[in-house]
């Protein structure tokens, strides 16, 4: 299980609850407001269009979406959020890349630094690990939800770069500009995705054994729970066998 795409899968695997609905809404509202800064019309703003689609998938009320757009365009007053990345190293020398939206950079940086320190990691300078990740569209499909040959043909014809096969899932990887077309092609073919997002995928991964894996998951959980962290990416890889041990230890 790789950290680039399977953090959501791992949370389900461990039996952990998803982030509370209110926190999900908060993150999406910030994303919409930031995306709307460059224009409030989703037809001419791909990033805003994706953010609105994510909001609808989360069952966000239309009025909430509208107000988030208006705050972004300046039609309504609101908090001015800054968007930036923070980087660091986790257990086993793993690379960690955080997407941040914050109204107080100094406070957020101090809090994130503290979370790294408490969880067997350390903050790094800007650019220290970001070069290890590529921004890509990623769609994951449970193996039972699609035929491999059909999926491969469909995804590649829609503009995907690659389809990776693991024990339980297919991973469709595409460029950011091709993401919407690939997502639409899968939806039109009635192929259900468990994850569909533009994310950062590492060029290489680091395999973690039991102790480091447990520490890494705790670090990921701590970062994921921070209000200013929109997304957390890392280049760890954890085997199914180790995940089962970690999950059993956490349950016991």
Angle (CA) 72 20 121, round 5°: 90
**All structural domains of the chain with their residue ranges:** 15-73, 83-131+204-251, 133-202
CATH (residue range 15-73): 1.10.10.200
pLDDT at 22: 66
Fold agreement (15-73, 133-202): no
pLDDT at res. 246: 76
Q: Which architecture characterizes domain 83-131+204-251 according to CATH?
A: 2-Layer Sandwich (3.30)
The proportion of the chain whose per-residue pLDDT surpasses 70, expressed as a percent, equals 90
User: Any bridge partners for residue 202, and if so which?
Assistant: 133
The model's pTM is 0.83
Closest CA to 64 of 103, 25, 36: 25
Total residues found in the chain within this entry: 252
What is the Cα–Cα distance from 126 to 86, expressed in whole angstroms? 7
- Rounded to whole angstroms, how far apart are CA atoms 97 and 65? 28
How would residue 84 be classed by pLDDT, with cut points 50, 70 and 90?
very high
3-class secondary structure for the chain?
CECCCCHHHHHHHCCCCCCCHHHHHHHHHHHHHHHHHHCCCHHHCHHHHHHHHHHHHCCCCHHHHHHHHHHHHCCCCCCCCEEEEEEEECHHHCEEEEEEEECCHHHHHHHHHHHHHHCCCEEECCCCCHHHEEEEEEEEEEHHHCCHHHHHHHHHHHCEEEEEECCCEEEEEECHHHHHHHHHHHHHCCCCCCEEEEEEEECCCEECCHHHHHHHHHHHHHHHHCCCEEEEEECEECCHHHHHHHHHHHHC
CB atoms near residue 32 (< 10 Å): 28
More confident residue, 81 or 98: 98
18 pLDDT above the threshold of 80: no
pLDDT at 15: 46
Is CATH 2.70.98.10 what the domain over 133-202 is classified as, yes or no?
Answer: no
How many whole angstroms from its chain centre is CA 38? 22
Q: In angstroms, what CA-CA distances link 154 with 42, 135, 161, 188? A: 26, 22, 12, 10
Contact 81, 33 (CB under 8 A): yes
Q: Which residue has the higher pLDDT, 4 or 75?
A: 75
pLDDT in tens, 123-181: 999 999 999 999 999 999 998 888 899 999 999 999 999 998 887 889 999 999 999 99
Burial zone of 8 (CB within 10 Å; 0-12 exposed, 13-18 middle, 19+ buried): middle
Distance, CA of 229 to chain centre? 10
pLDDT, tens only, 204-251 = 999 999 899 999 999 998 998 898 999 899 999 888 788 878 777 766
């Amino acid at each position: 299980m790789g950290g680039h795409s399977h953090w959501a899968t791992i949370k389900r695997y461990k039996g952990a609850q998803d982030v509370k609905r209110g926190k999900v809404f908060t993150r999406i509202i910030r994303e919409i407001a930031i995306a709307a800064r460059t224009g409030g019309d989703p037809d001419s703003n791909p990033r805003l269009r994706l953010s609105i689609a994510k909001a609808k998938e989360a069952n966000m009320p239309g009025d909430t979406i509208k107000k988030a757009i208006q705050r972004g365009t300046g039609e309504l007053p609101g908090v001015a959020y800054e968007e930036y990345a923070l980087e660091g190293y986790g257990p086993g020398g793993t690379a960690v890349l955080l997407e941040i939206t914050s109204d107080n950079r100094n406070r957020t940086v101090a809090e994130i630094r503290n979370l790294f320190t408490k969880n067997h990691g350390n903050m790094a300078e800007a650019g220290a690990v970001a070069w290890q990740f590529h921004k890509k569209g990623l769609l994951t499909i449970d193996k039972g939800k699609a035929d491999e040959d059909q999926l491969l043909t469909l995804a590649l014809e829609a503009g995907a770069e690659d389809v990776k096969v693991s024990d339980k899932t297919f991973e469709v990887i595409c460029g950011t500009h091709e993401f919407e077309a690939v997502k639409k092609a899968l939806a039109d073919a009635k192929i259900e995705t468990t994850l569909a997002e533009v994310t950062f995928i590492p060029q290489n991964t680091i395999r973690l054994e039991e102790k480091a894996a447990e520490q890494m998951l705790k670090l990921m959980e701590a970062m994921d729970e921070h209000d200013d962290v929109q997304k957390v990416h890392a280049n760890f890889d954890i085997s199914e066998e180790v995940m089962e041990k970690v999950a059993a230890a956490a349950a016991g």
